[in-house]
């Protein structure tokens, strides 16, 4: 039996507080059980000296007796004030109330608050209860060693995000309010180490062309079925979601940026294009009238036709979309070739307003993807996630998936698709990183998953018939 160096009777002799020679800074409350001829004991977490230990002994004695200290709330509050500790649940609520005020003041995003709320209320609180920890000062260097086991089945990036939130709660709330030991928060090994590999960063794979055709057809069929639904809001939502996916895929904007996008942030320009077929028809018509036409030879279908009188010119609408990142606060302009999608969606909304007696038209301050039946406010992010899951589930047996990733396509895959497509098209890396609001290094690390076969032709090209270029060196000096 270990040697006792401190022993003091408490609770009128019912039990005693002891400290052992091999661990003199750790205090234990114990009671002698006659029937078993042995001690029942428990470590007094948070006790820094014998006085703290004697105060905490009351709580442990109640636990041994099968009672809770809530029956003696005044005594419990006195203990908490003495030891500068607090019930875990109460500490979490106080922290979340403060974070909610920050979200309401636009200091942090609403989504950030919601993520913290789920992590702390649902995961941290339940985990600590399973570990038998009810007070903040019971948290020690070993408390979180089983956290990843408790959250088994989650992705590594999810683990890491939750740990960041818990660490913030410990350091920026419990520590600042002196509700936890500083050395616990400072411990670098408080949480198990998580090693993020490259395949862990591929959770939002780009959608290949064949799969996008399948997904887009599925969405359009889903929209068509919604037209016959008795609730007109169903078709409205499905049409909104369809245009949202088109614009997300062709701008690479983040979901939050599009949900906050207003019509005044979108500028549509008709840059035109030359249709070779239409051009030939117009030339033939002019020649039939006896007018000689000199063909300028411009048959480039992709180049802008800035001259509105050019032969063969057709409308080509591009859009300049100004978005502001909630992540960085940086504004940027994204050119995209799907100006027609904005026009079609605007026309649909105006028709919807007319049919349902709204007595209004689309205006500049309206959200592009706002809920017109709820004062134009944002739809909840979950609505988009649920609809995407529905489409993906309906099309699942027809999807090939990404060549280098086993993960399912997500809404964020639309952004990955934009990046990957632009890289395949040879878009300048620094221009692309500017459009996406990312550092070039981050862009390559998180989004570059190109199938090399897509560019095999240029990599395997052989210089048949080419002669080696020669030049003559010009001497600058005689030596």
CB-based contacts of 175, cutoff 8 Å, min separation 6: 182, 185
pLDDT band of 76, cuts 50, 70, 90 = low
pLDDT the model gives residue 280: 66
Instruction: Pick the more confident residue, 51 or 458.
Output: 51
Residue 261 · residue 321 · CB < 8 Å = yes
User: pLDDT value at position 316?
Assistant: 80
Residue 91 pLDDT greater than 90, yes or no: yes
| Integer Cα distance of 250 and 266 in angstroms | 14
Q: What pLDDT is recorded for position 33?
A: 79
Report the pLDDT averaged over residues 242-249.
97
| Range ranked top by mean pLDDT from 202-206, 326-330, 376-380 | 376-380
Predicted pLDDT at 231: 96
pLDDT tens by residue, 121-154:
999 999 999 988 889 988 988 999 999 999 998 8
Q: What's the whole-number mean pLDDT along residues 221-230?
A: 95
Q: How confident is the model at residue 235 (pLDDT cuts 50, 70, 90)?
A: very high
Predicted local distance difference test score (pLDDT) of residue 12: 77
Contacts of 75 (CB under 8 A, 6+ apart): 58, 69
pLDDT at 188 over 60: yes
- Point out the least confidently predicted range of 8-22, 196-210, 228-242, 423-437: 196-210
pLDDT top residue among 48 and 446: 48
Among the residue ranges 110-119, 196-205, 248-257, 311-320, the one predicted with the least confidence is 196-205
Q: DSSP 3-state assignment of 46?
A: coil
Query: What is the pLDDT at residue 233?
Result: 95
Report percent pLDDT > 90 for the chain: 42
Residue 170 has pLDDT above 50, yes or no: yes
Please name which of 149, 276, 191, 226 lies closest in space to residue 387, comparing C-alpha atoms.
226
> For residues 465 and 433, which has the higher predicted lDDT (pLDDT)?
433
Residue 54 binned pLDDT confidence (cut-offs 50, 70, 90): confident
- pLDDT the model gives residue 255: 92
Query: In angstroms, how far is CA 271 from the centroid of its own chain?
Result: 35
pLDDT at 59: 78
pLDDT at position 384 over 90: yes
pLDDT band with cut points at 50, 70 and 90 for residue 315: confident
Q: Cα 396 to the chain's mean position, in Å? A: 23
Q: Is the pTM of this model over 0.85?
A: no
Contact 204, 416 (CB under 8 A): yes
On average, the pLDDT of the chain sits at 83
CATH 3.10.450 fits 210-265+342-457, yes or no: no
Least confident of 135-139, 285-289, 415-419: 285-289
Phi-psi region of 82 (alpha: psi -120 to 50; beta: other; left: phi over 0): alpha
Residues 6+ apart with CB under 8 A from 207: 215, 249, 402, 409, 413, 414, 416, 417
Given a cut of 90, is residue 429 above it in pLDDT?
Answer: no
CA distance 413 to 203: 9
For the stretch 368-395, what's the b/e string if a residue is b when 16 or more beta carbons lie within 10 angstroms of its beta carbon? bbbbbeeeeeebeeeebeebbeebbeeb
Identify the pLDDT of residue 197.
65
pLDDT at residue 74 above 80?
no
Domain ranges for the chain, please list them. 4-83, 88-196, 210-265+342-457
82 pLDDT higher than 60:
no
pLDDT of 243 above 60:
yes
Q: How confident is the model at residue 459 (pLDDT cuts 50, 70, 90)?
A: very low
pLDDT (tens digit, 9 = 90+) per residue, 4-22? 888 888 887 888 998 888 7
Instruction: Please report the pLDDT score of residue 57 as a whole number.
Output: 83
Least trusted range by pLDDT, from 69-83, 160-174, 368-382: 69-83
* 18-49: b (≥16 Cβ within 10 Å) or e: bbbeeeeeebbbbbeeeeeeeeeebbbbbbee
Provide the 3-class DSSP secondary structure of residue 399: coil
């Amino acid at each position: 039996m270990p040697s006792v160096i401190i022993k003091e009777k408490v609770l009128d002799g019912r039990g005693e507080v002891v400290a052992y020679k091999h661990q003199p800074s750790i205090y234990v409350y114990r009671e002698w059980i006659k029937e078993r001829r042995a001690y029942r004991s428990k470590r007094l977490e948070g006790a820094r000296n014998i006085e703290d230990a004697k105060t905490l002994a009351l709580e442990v004695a109640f636990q041994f007796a099968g009672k809770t200290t809530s029956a003696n709330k005044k005594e419990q509050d006195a203990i908490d004030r003495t030891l500068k500790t607090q019930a875990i649940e109460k500490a979490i609520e106080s922290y979340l109330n403060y974070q909610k005020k920050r979200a309401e003041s636009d200091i942090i995003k609403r989504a950030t608050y919601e993520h913290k709320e789920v992590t702390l209320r649902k995961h941290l609180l339940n985990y600590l209860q399973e570990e038998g920890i009810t007070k903040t000062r019971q948290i020690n260097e070993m408390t979180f060693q089983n956290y990843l086991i408790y959250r088994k089945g989650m992705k590594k990036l999810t683990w890491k995000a939750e740990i960041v939130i818990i660490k913030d709660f410990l350091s920026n709330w419990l520590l600042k309010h002196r509700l936890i030991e500083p050395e616990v928060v400072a411990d670098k090994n408080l949480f198990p180490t998580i090693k993020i590999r490259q395949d862990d960063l591929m959770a939002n794979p780009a959608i290949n062309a064949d799969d996008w055709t399948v997904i887009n057809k599925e969405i359009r069929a889903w929209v068509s079925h919604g037209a016959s639904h008795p609730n007109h809001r169903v078709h409205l939502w499905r049409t909104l979601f369809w245009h949202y996916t088109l614009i997300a895929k062709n701008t690479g904007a983040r979901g939050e940026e599009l949900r906050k996008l207003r019509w005044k942030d979108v500028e549509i320009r008709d840059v035109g294009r030359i249709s070779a077929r239409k051009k030939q028809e117009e030339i033939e018509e002019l020649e039939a009238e006896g007018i000689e036409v000199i063909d300028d030879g411009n048959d480039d279908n992709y180049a802008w036709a800035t001259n509105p009188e050019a032969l063969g010119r057709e409308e080509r609408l591009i859009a300049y979309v100004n978005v502001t990142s909630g992540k960085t606060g940086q504004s940027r302009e994204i050119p995209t070739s799907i100006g027609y999608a904005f026009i079609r969606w605007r026309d649909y909304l105006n028709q919807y307003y007319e049919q349902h007696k709204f007595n209004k038209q689309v205006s500049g301050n309206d959200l592009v993807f706002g809920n017109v039946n709820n004062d134009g406010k944002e739809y909840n992010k979950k609505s988009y996630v649920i609809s995407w899951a529905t489409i993906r589930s309906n099309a699942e047996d027809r999807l090939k998936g990404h060549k280098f990733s086993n993960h399912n396509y997500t809404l964020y895959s639309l952004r990955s698709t934009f990046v990957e497509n632009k890289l395949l098209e040879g878009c300048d890396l620094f221009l692309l990183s500017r459009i996406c609001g990312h550092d070039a290094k981050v862009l390559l690390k998180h989004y570059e998953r190109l199938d090399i076969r897509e560019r095999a032709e240029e990599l395997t090209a052989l210089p048949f018939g080419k002669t080696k270029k020669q030049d003559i060196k010009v001497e600058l000096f005689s030596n």
